[in-house]
């Protein structure tokens, strides 16, 4: 008995160690970013890197505020009223106001989730039509949709820049949502078509006979079974539009600027504030992670297995 289980346990241990090692290697940059966010500027550039250090919120305070240097006298007359003012005060500065990070982050949320919703919504309808109806030139249309992804989107940056300028879409939320939706839509249609193709037609036919219209059957029978596809498509779309940098740099500068082009500018003028940049990057990771975790249960496949005899 033991002679059978022993090698197995050794293998299990080896496999486990391998996984842990792999996880460490891939997570190292992430740990680096997160820890740098809690370091002081001098700790952040220390060599050799400090693994153990005294954490501080200085980076986060710098991220969310703009500060000005003040005279000793001014500082003495305006004592800090809370912990973050104290933190700034100790450096001989006062908080002049909020930074633009919050706004940029909010822009990212609106544009990222807005374009994700639109891509998935339009993609689901289009995929259903391509999957179920006799569409003239179906294969050509599908190929055309796919072909829009055959070059890097940035290749058409100049025409898009000119179009956006003449249409007044530059630096607007609507413009960016539209652009990211256009880029994501082809992926959404193809991914979702694959998922909807796998849902047997019998369910809809049963629903049609059970007294429902085509659209009601779609909503009550097809959509609930397509949640896996919809969730994974949504995650892909969000990751693209959330991380997109090139178009954001090109087309946004003020009111609709997203976080990716903004984060590098946090580094500031005079003095390199790496902890603030790291703090900005750390917070930037959170929405996609939360979104993925929330949709995780829908990603589990297999709920439809066995209900239709193949």
Partner 1 sequence: MAEVQLQNVCKSFGSITAVDQMSLTIDQGDFVVLLGPTGAGKTTTLRLISGLERPDQGRVLIDGRDVTSEIPARRDVAMVFQQYSLYPHMTVRENLAFPLRSPLFSFSDEVIQDRIQNIAEILQISHKLDNRTTALSGGEMQRVSIGRALVRNPAIYLMDEPLSSLDAKLRADLRIELKRIQVELNATLLYVTHDQIEAMTMASKVGVLESGKLVQVGSPRAIYEDPVSLYVSGRLGLPRINTVPAYLFPNSPAGATTIGLRPEHIEQGQGEPARVIRLEHLGDQTQLYLDFKDHTIITLTDIRSTLRPDDTVYIQPRNPLYFDVTGHRVR
User: Within 249-288, which residues bind partner 1 (CB under 8 A)?
Assistant: none
Q: CB-based contacts of 88: which residues, under 8 Å, 6+ apart?
A: 61, 65, 67, 80, 94, 95
Per the CB < 8 A criterion, the answer to whether 99 and 63 are in contact is yes
* Cα angle 60, 65, 67; round to 5: 120
Q: Which is nearer to partner 1, 13 or 307 (CB)?
A: 307
Q: Which is nearer to partner 1, 97 or 306 (CB)?
A: 306
Q: Residue 142: CA atoms inside 13 Å, Cβ hemisphere, count?
A: 18
Minimum gap (Å) between residue 217 Cβ and partner 1: 9
Per the CB < 8 A criterion, the answer to whether 186 and 146 are in contact is yes
What x/- string results for residues 190 through 229 when contact with partner 1 is judged by CB under 8 A? ----------x-xx-xxxxxxxxxx-x----x--xx----
Distance CA 42, CA 192 (A): 49
Question: Two tokens at 237?
Answer: 């779309």
Distance CA 35, CA 52 (A): 10
Whether the CA torsion 231, 234, 239, 240 is positive or negative: it is positive
Minimum gap (Å) between residue 215 Cβ and partner 1: 11
Minimum gap (Å) between residue 199 Cβ and partner 1: 9
Query: Using the rule CB under 8 A, is 309 a contact of partner 1?
Result: yes
Minimum gap (Å) between residue 301 Cβ and partner 1: 12
Q: Which is nearer to partner 1, 150 or 209 (CB)?
A: 209
**Binds partner 1 (CB under 8 A): choice among 14, 286, 294, 307:** 307
Q: Which is nearer to partner 1, 37 or 229 (CB)?
A: 229
Which stretches of the chain bind partner 1, using CB under 8 A? Answer: 200, 202-203, 205-214, 216, 221, 224-225, 303-309
């Amino acid at each position: 008995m033991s002679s059978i289980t022993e090698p197995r346990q050794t293998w299990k241990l080896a496999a486990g160690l391998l996984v842990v090692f792999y996880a460490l290697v891939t997570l190292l940059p992430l740990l680096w970013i997160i820890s740098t966010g809690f370091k002081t500027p001098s700790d952040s550039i220390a060599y050799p890197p400090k693994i153990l250090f005294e954490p501080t919120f200085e980076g986060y305070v710098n991220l969310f505020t703009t500060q000005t240097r003040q005279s000793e006298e001014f500082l003495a007359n305006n004592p800090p009223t809370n912990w973050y003012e104290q933190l700034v005060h100790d450096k001989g500065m006062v908080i002049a106001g909020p930074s633009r990070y919050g706004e940029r982050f909010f822009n990212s949320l609106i544009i990222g989730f807005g374009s994700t919703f639109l891509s998935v919504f339009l993609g689901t309808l289009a995929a259903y039509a391509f999957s179920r109806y006799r569409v003239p030139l179906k294969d050509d249309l599908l190929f055309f949709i796919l072909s829009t992804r055959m070059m890097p989107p940035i290749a058409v940056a100049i025409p898009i820049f000119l179009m956006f300028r003449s249409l007044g879409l530059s630096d607007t939320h609507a413009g960016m949502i539209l652009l990211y939706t256009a880029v994501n839509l082809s992926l959404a249609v193809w991914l979702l078509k694959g998922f909807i193709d796998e849902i047997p037609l019998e369910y809809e036919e049963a629903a049609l006979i059970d007294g429902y219209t085509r659209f009601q059957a779609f909503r009550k029978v097809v959509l609930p079974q397509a949640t896996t596809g919809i969730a994974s498509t949504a995650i892909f779309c969000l990751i693209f539009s959330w991380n997109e940098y090139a178009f954001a740099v090109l087309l946004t500068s003020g009111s609709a600027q997203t976080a990716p082009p903004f984060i590098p500018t946090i580094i500031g003028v005079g003095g390199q504030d790496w902890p603030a940049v790291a703090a900005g990057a750390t917070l930037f990771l959170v929405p996609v992670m939360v979104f993925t975790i929330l949709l995780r249960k829908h990603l589990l496949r297999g709920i439809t297995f066995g209900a239709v005899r193949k």
